[in-house]
Amino acid sequence: MPGAALWGSSSDAEAAPGRGADSKPLRREGSLVRAAALHSAPCRPLPRRQRALPACQAGEEVRSRPGSRSRTGGSEAMAAGFKTVEPLEYYRRFLKENCRPDGRELGEFRTTTVNIGSITTADGSALVKLGNTTVICGIKAEFAEPPAESTNKGYIVPNVDLPPLCSSRFRPGPPGEEAQAASQFIADVIENSEIIMKEDLCIAHGKLAWVLYCDFICLDYDGNILDACTFALLAALKNVQLPKVTINEETGLAEVDLKQTNPLNIRKHPVATSFAVFDDTILIVDPTAEEEDLATGTVTIVMDEEGKLCSVHKPGGSGLAAAKLQDCITRAVTRHKEVKKLIDKVIKSIKPK
């Protein structure tokens, strides 16, 4: 089944995707970069022939002499050097102006794209892009005997893979700490949100049940992996079609009818919203990998369509006041509506299997 994709943004799911080079925030960024660079550069005495030129102060226009290097190229080089030497201070100067180096406001998400049915060999799949962060989820359904302690339930087994392909920060070999933490986070979301009741995966009580293996592979890592994985899980589960299975009473074997398929019963629609904390007070949504490294802490809020809190994930770092946490929950409710609207459009735009 061919995939379908729609884009969405933080402010309006139907707004034009991305910001071009001529958008207002990016022009604002240029002025801030020059100001940050010039603030960091010490003033040097000018040669005698140039003493009549204005002093090098932040924000002043300095005219270059004919044949000399342009002011724009020089300021960009100075800004790049300042960002390399003092990356945190570089970010702080943008945060003071309520914007970020990539042109976004503090509460603005990157462009979100979802493509459903990307893997034709899987029982359900979805590819999600959150800015540069790209995650693909494939779901494979198999038979298994129900657990002894719950003979009327099936299984959902998530696994997140962060290979060296997606970022140089990851190494080949067994799953690293971040991949294991992401896998556990997805397992907790499935359990706490009750996105699918495991009883719905039981085929024959005490005899046969479905096992849904949910494999996530990050193709490009640029921060906020938890939001992307949660979105990809929801989209992939809504794409799953399971065949009708009956148990032959004479042989006791399972008989599969591939011509009759049914979708999963998705009971809840959990959506994750991640925040980064700067200097223990400033909150920014949808942090990039660089912002996550510089932040003093991160927190992820998972909400469902009823406004219920499904999960709060905070892996250490600086604490959050009650008022700040409430702000995060309020923003997560708004984000849920945006994501739900986006995924509903994608589902309606494609034909069932």
Round to whole Å and give the CA distance between 136 and 125. 7
Residue 209: CB partners within 8 Å, gap ≥ 6? Answer: 143, 144, 145, 146, 153, 154, 155, 201, 202, 203
Angle, helix 322-349 to helix 225-237, in steps of 10 degrees:
40
Bridge partners, 161 (sequence order): 217
Spatial strand order in the sheet of 297-303? 282-285, 271-278, 297-303, 309-313
Three-state secondary structure call for residue 158: strand
**Residue 69 C-alpha from the chain's centroid:** 41
Rounded Cα–Cα distance for residues 299 and 166 (Å): 23
Q: How much is the pLDDT for 291?
A: 94
Residues 6+ apart with CB under 8 A from 23: 103
Spatial separation of the C-alpha atoms in residues 62 and 57, rounded to whole Å:
9
With H, G, I as helix, E, B as strand and everything else as coil, classify residue 271: strand
Q: Tens of pLDDT along 16-68?
A: 344 444 433 433 344 433 334 434 444 444 443 333 333 333 333 334 344 44
* CA gap 2, 345 in Å, rounded: 15
Q: What is the pLDDT of residues 300-342, one digit of tens each?
A: 999 999 999 999 999 988 888 899 999 999 999 999 999 999 9
In this structure, are residues 283 and 332 in contact, taking their beta carbons and an 8 Å threshold? no
Residues of the chain short of pLDDT 70, as ranges, are 1-74, 79, 82, 351-353
pLDDT of residue 72: 57
- Count CB-CB contacts under 10 A for residue 123: 22
Task: Please provide residue 144's backbone torsions phi and psi, each rounded to the nearest 5 degrees.
Answer: -160, 160
Question: What's residue 317's pLDDT?
Answer: 86
Using alpha carbons only, what angle is made at residue 32 by residues 27 and 37, rounded to the nearest 5 degrees? 130
CA distance readout (Å), 112 to 15, 78, 117, 323: 11, 33, 17, 28
What per-residue confidence (pLDDT) applies to 29? 42
Q: Partners of 159 in the beta sheet?
A: 215
